[in-house]
Copies of this chain bind each other. A is one copy, B any other.
Amino acid sequence: MVKLFKQETTTVGVEADVTSSRGCPAAAQAPDVSGALISGVPVSAPLVLSIDAMGGDRGPAAVLDGIALARRKYPDLHFLVHGPEADVAPLVKARRLKSCVTIRHATGVVTMHDKPAAVMRGGKDTSMWSTIDAVRDGAAQVAVSCGNTGALMAVSMLRLRKMPGVNRPAIAAFWPCKNPSGFNIMLDMGADVKAEARDLLTYALMGSSYARNALGLDRPRVGLLNVGTEEHKGHAELKIAAEMIGAMETAGGYEFVGFVEGNDLPGSRVDVIVTDGFTGNVALKTGEGTAKFAGELMREAFTSSLLSKLGALLASGALKRLKAKIDPRRVNGGVFLGLNGTVIKSHGGADATGVAAAIDLAARLAGLGFAERLAARVALASANGQDAASAEAGIENAK
């Protein structure tokens, strides 16, 4: 088993490291929609994405609008679109997408209220299930869905299965911060409410692999979320996790900065923030809620008097640029890490711009062969730490 892992590493792993840090510098612009990224990436086969047309709050029209928008940037992409043919076909026709879209008929729709267990039992006929199966069968490289997160994770786990060496898969998302790229990556955002020390180590490995590929970072800085940066604070489990993550620095290809706190999330200390899915989800929603609240207070202030309205008018250019910069639709897409295949969860309320951003992320990850790179990195680290470190040293020297 260990030998197999190491064999995989020497083929895929080297390529991954070299390409992400050198061959594809444009990846540093990851959260921007950019068609230029596809050129020069290792996978030369035609890229096919599997898109769930149903389950989003705005229905299939918004999803097809997103495809139309993304297509302008990626004219060579092909889309497998899953949903009831009667609903989807007219939308495809109206947007003249026939040449790049193949409809996969599926009658069932997973709603936001469906329980994950129920979908796992009786969801075979749904567009969500069909979307994941296209990746499972190799018909598409990456799946995208705006549907129910819990159900999407459950179906993905069931159909794609966990990657060897992964106990708990995780959801990773971009977090706006003061880093040069404008973002860091946080995981787990809520795939599992629990995480043991070894799961947190896996998150560190997967998160840094994602940061290398999606943010174009050579050696991402990893931090473990805690209630203080001192060693004597926090759960016992976190202290064990910190030791494990620290010991795997070389094999994992990251720098471990130790414990970080909630106020480091929007800062510039780290590229990858590791935490359990309960804490990650609360932090995500607290951050989103606070940002929204701050925006509302600001809007209130600027409409409170004639003078402030005039001020807002004069500053409107700067405010528009700021709004575009922090537009959450630009970084739409939580990625499921740790499965045999890449699945992107778009925000349920995503409009065309949001869906296009999720598709852009999917196209880039598909183009980079991210699923294989991630598997190679996890396998490398899952092997005996000592052996892995030596193997990694060999890779670095070969560069």
Contact = CB atoms under 8 A, between A and B. Distances in A.
A292 B312 contact: no
B227 A281 contact: yes
Nearest to A297: B322
Given A227-B278, A278-B279, A314-B314, A265 B294 contact: no
Interface in A61-75: none
Most chain B beta carbons < 10 A, residue from A190, A263, A326 = A263
Could you tell me the dominant secondary structure of chain A's interface residues? Answer: helix
Nearest to A316: B311
B287 A261 contact: no
A317 interface: yes
A234 B192 CA distance: 9
A226 to B, nearest CB: 8
Interface string A275-301: 101110111111111111111011011
A225 interface: yes
Interface stretch (A48-56, A302-310, A329-337): A302-310
Most chain B beta carbons < 10 A, residue from A262, A264, A277 = A262
B282 A227 contact: yes
A265 B285 CA distance: 9
Contacts of A322: 297-298, 300-301
A176 B292 CA distance: 13
A129 to B, nearest CB: 20
Given A266-B292, A284-B262, A290-B291, A304 B318 contact: yes
A104 to B, nearest CB: 29
A267 interface: yes
A233 to B, nearest CB: 7
Interface string A108-139: 00000001000000000000000000000000
B311 A289 contact: no
A82 to B, nearest CB: 25
A325 interface: yes
A113 to B, nearest CB: 8
Contacts of A227: 190, 193, 277-278, 281-282
Given A227-B281, A262-B282, A294-B294, A301 B287 contact: no
A115 B233 CA distance: 10
Contacts of A261: 281-282, 285
Most chain B beta carbons < 10 A, residue from A228, A233, A294, A322 = A294
A178 to B, nearest CB: 7
A194 interface: yes
A177 interface: yes
Interface string A134-151: 000000000000000010
A236 B291 CA distance: 30
B302 A318 contact: yes
Most chain B beta carbons < 10 A, residue from A178, A225, A288, A290 = A290
29 contacts: A115-B230, A150-B228, A176-B293, A190-B227, A194-B235, A227-B278, A234-B278, A261-B282, A262-B289, A263-B286, A263-B289, A263-B292, A264-B289, A265-B290, A266-B289, A266-B293, A275-B282, A286-B290, A291-B294, A297-B325, A301-B315, A302-B315, A307-B315, A308-B317, A308-B318, A308-B319, A311-B312, A311-B314, A315-B315
Per CB-CB distance, the 5 closest pairs between chain A and chain B, nearest first, are A262-B285, A311-B315, A311-B314, A263-B289, A308-B318
Given A193-B235, A301-B322, A315-B315, 15 more contacts: A115-B232, A150-B228, A261-B281, A261-B285, A262-B283, A262-B286, A265-B286, A294-B295, A297-B326, A304-B321, A308-B317, A308-B319, A310-B315, A311-B312, A311-B315
